Amino acid sequence: MPRLSVQQLFEDRRERLGLAWAAGASGSHRELTNEMLSRPGLGLIGHLNLIHPLIVQVLGASELEYIERMSEGAATEMFDRLAGGDTLCIVVGDGLPVPPALERAATRAAVPLLTARETSQQVINVLRPYLQGELGEVTSLHGVFLDVLEIGVLITGESSIGKSELALELISRGHGLVADDVVELQQIGPETVQGRCPPMLRDFLEVRGLGVLNIRSIFGETAVRPRKALRLIVHLEFPANGGYEERERLSTRSGTRRVLGVEIPTVTLTVAPGRNLAVLVEAAVRNHILITRGIDSTRDFISRQAAAMRSGGEGDAEPRD
């Protein structure tokens, strides 16, 4: 299960936000986990909120000015409530000094209290995607993950069907490799799954007959990508019964596959002699881009054909003498 300690958060974003410890360093081992994201009524990060608890509470100039207008007893009670419950970390932004009462409350509860040089809104804008990326659910799939025309494409299929050879041809055509064999997938947003390569396999592609190739060394830095959002799955399959089965010409073998709760479009291509799979994958990606823009070529052609049939065949060519 993905988890992130407050100490790791501090180290990863210290320079970006100008973070510094103010109190509660004894609680630096506290961890944010993926389970917390699914708990009802518990938010991830935001400005001070005591009604709907947040894992990371952020205080800026407006919140501190509001608290300063309270009586000393009311402010102390609020800080005690803030440091208790589900709060794992408190960040005071805008480069403001920490109120002594808040510092004492954080020390008593061993809740990490940090200060940030950046504004409170900037702290939220930076930490929210960072936390979602670190705590998102992770899974692994078998296949080759590529960047084709700026679209993350996962090529799947049976062993020895030719996934790596297809990937090598696509790379030689200017596309990029993300991962071969094992692809780590992580949900980084409600409708976004991001794929990356395990460190052990980074830059390598195994091709039968050639062994393991270092794609970065052979094709250069631009031939590899550190990560990419998964947008399309291309599944390769052998012809049924060993022969190329004739199919309905206007039908498409497409659908969706659920990955970490996100529906990913899929296209199935049959592997057969004479088929240029690299060109077909590129065409599938281009067609996917058009579909996302509301342009479906097959649907448009069927509509045009139906209109021609209703009009009595007006689209037919005139017979020659």
Active site residue 163: yes
Q: How far apart are CA 277 and CA 29, in angstroms?
A: 50
Which of 181, 216, 227, 296 is an active site residue? 181
Whether 216 sits among the annotated catalytic residues: the reply is no
Q: State both tokens at 51.
A: 């009604």
SS3 at position 320 = coil
Contact 265, 233 (CB under 8 A): yes
Task: Please list the residues that pair with 267 across neighbouring strands.
Answer: 234, 254
**Choosing from 163, 175, 228, 235, which is the catalytic residue?**
163
Which residue of the set 249, 293, 310, 320 is catalytic?
249
Nearest to 167 by CA among 200, 194, 197, 193: 197
Identify whether 142 is a catalytic site residue. yes
What contacts 24+ positions apart, CB below 8 Å, involve 171-174?
171/146, 171/205, 171/215, 171/219, 171/223, 172/219, 173/278, 173/282
Given the residues 3, 81, 142, 275, select the one marked as catalytic.
142
Written as six digits, the tokens of 156 are 């799947």
Residues with catalytic function: 142, 163, 181, 249
